[in-house]
Amino acid sequence: MSTIQAIYENGVLKPLQKLDIPERQRVEIIILADDLPSSLIAEIAEQSGSYTFLSHPSEDIYTIEDGEGID
């Protein structure tokens, strides 16, 4: 599987680079809009487990060993 960028023009998707696939090859296209809200991106990342590393003890950077807070 590979990812390419294309422009939709006059009812046709036009790839921005040459494709290394045979002529008339059937492909599946997933449309991702450029204007997805960041809250939706964060929700998808959370649901997919992208943030699970944060629960690891070594990721807890705010510990007593960090010193005292600044007032």
Contact 42, 51 (CB under 8 A): no
- Neighbouring-strand partners of residue 14: 7
Q: What is the pLDDT of residue 16?
A: 92
What pLDDT digit, counting tens, does each position of 14-58 carry? 999 999 999 999 988 877 766 777 787 788 888 887 777 777 777
Q: What is the mean pLDDT of residues 63-67?
A: 64
Q: Could you give the CA distance from residue 44 to residue 46 in angstroms, rounded to a whole number?
A: 5
Mark 11-21 as b/e (b = at least 16 C-beta within 10 Å). eeeeeeeeeee
Query: 6 exposed, middle or buried (CB, 10 Å; 0-12, 13-18, 19+)?
Result: middle
- pLDDT the model gives residue 25: 92
